[in-house]
Structure 1
Amino acid sequence: MKTFLKRTLYWISMPIRVLWEFNKGFRLYYLRGLRWGEEELEDVFALLILEDYIGFPNLPVDLSYRFLPHMVREMYVMQEKSLIH
């Protein structure tokens, strides 16, 4: 009787476990996509702020100075990427 109960509970809980694992995998895939999108937006933001370095006309100076504290991390990331390639 005990093994029958265990086996029954196992088969009843199987769809729940499958859906739980599917949810974990989907969440991981979704978060990875969000992280990639965030990195791309940060790259575009850095390009807009530091576009003078690549020859495009730059933003007004007062606007660039307001964004500069937010760009410290981006400058480190861009430096690391340029050293890798």
Structure 2
Amino acid sequence: MNPDILKIFSRFFRERSTEYLKFELRELESLFGMLLYSSLVGYPAPPTFLTLRLLPHLEGELRAMVDRLYREDDLFGELTGLFDIG
């Protein structure tokens, strides 16, 4: 194979894998925050003492969740765009 084609494939897959990892990280952070703040929306929550001990470490995450809430209005659209469905 042509070395240029290999470089193009390598760059393409590296960029895609980075997008997938960023998306997965955002989703895991959202899940973690949801576990801790679940009592606010009526889901069973972890023990209160555990939530209170972790709360100071999540100040930035709470701000990010609120920002994401206002910014992202179409999660399904983001998923279909990420996986090139359409």
TM, length-normalised to structure 2: 0.73
Query: Which deviations, in whole Å up to 9, do the C-alpha atoms of 1:3-41 show, x marking residues without a partner?
Result: xxxxxxxxxxx8111101110110000110011011111
Q: 1:55 aligns with which of 15, 38, 42?
A: 42
TM, length-normalised to structure 1: 0.73
Greater gyration radius: 1
Across the aligned residues of Structure 1 and Structure 2, the Cα RMSD in angstroms comes to: 1.7
Q: 2:16 aligns with which of 6, 10, 29?
A: 29
Does 1:76 pair with 2:63? Answer: yes
Percent identical pairs in the alignment equals 29
Looking at both structures, which has the greater relative contact order when contacts are Cα pairs under 8 Å and sequence separation is at least 6? Answer: 2
| Structure 1 gap ranges (5+) | 1-13
| Structure 2 gap ranges (5+) | 74-86
**Hey, which bits of structure 1, 4+ residues long, moved more than 6 A?**
none
Q: 1:44 aligns with which of 28, 31, 44?
A: 31
